[in-house]
Amino acid sequence: MNVFACVACGHVDFPRRLLCPSCGHDDFAEVAASTGSVEEVTILHHRAGKAGGDIAYLATVLTHAGPRLIVRLERLLASGAVVSLRLESDGAIVGFSD
Ligand SMILES: [Zn+2]
């Protein structure tokens, strides 16, 4: 997946913003953010609209490209684990490790 780097000052953000929060410029270049490090994991039980017993793992991941993202992990991982990232068609970001 990609994040967005301001061409004027280099500030990197996700999702893309109308204006750079750092300098106000409005032109961005896409930068690959294919991996990151898990910071914190939250375990969600019984998600609304889903059958009971469904568990989801949400993590804050600091991407190697810079921005911090909220990511759904395919399985429970510890803080510090390195994950690969992919953007799903529904806009969710999934983190996985092999
Ligand atoms: Zn900028």
Cα(13) to ligand 1 centroid in Å equals 10
DSSP assignment of 23-92: T----EEEEE--EEEEEEEEEEES-TTS-TT-EEEEEEEEETTS-EEEEEESS---TT-EEEEEE-TTS-
Cα(64) to ligand 1 centroid in Å equals 19
Residues in the chain: 98
Cα(66) to ligand 1 centroid in Å equals 14
Cα(71) to ligand 1 centroid in Å equals 25
pLDDT at position 50 is 61
Cα(5) to ligand 1 centroid in Å equals 8
pLDDT band at 14 (very low <50, low <70, confident <90, very high): very high
Q: Mind listing the pLDDT tens digit for each residue in 37-79?
A: 999 999 988 766 666 668 899 999 999 999 999 999 999 999 9
pLDDT at position 52 is 61
Cα(26) to ligand 1 centroid in Å equals 8
The tokens for 43 are 């375990």
The tokens for 48 are 């609304």
Mean pLDDT, rounded, of the chain: 93
pLDDT at position 21 is 96
User: Is the CB of residue 66 less than 8 Å from the CB of residue 12?
Assistant: yes
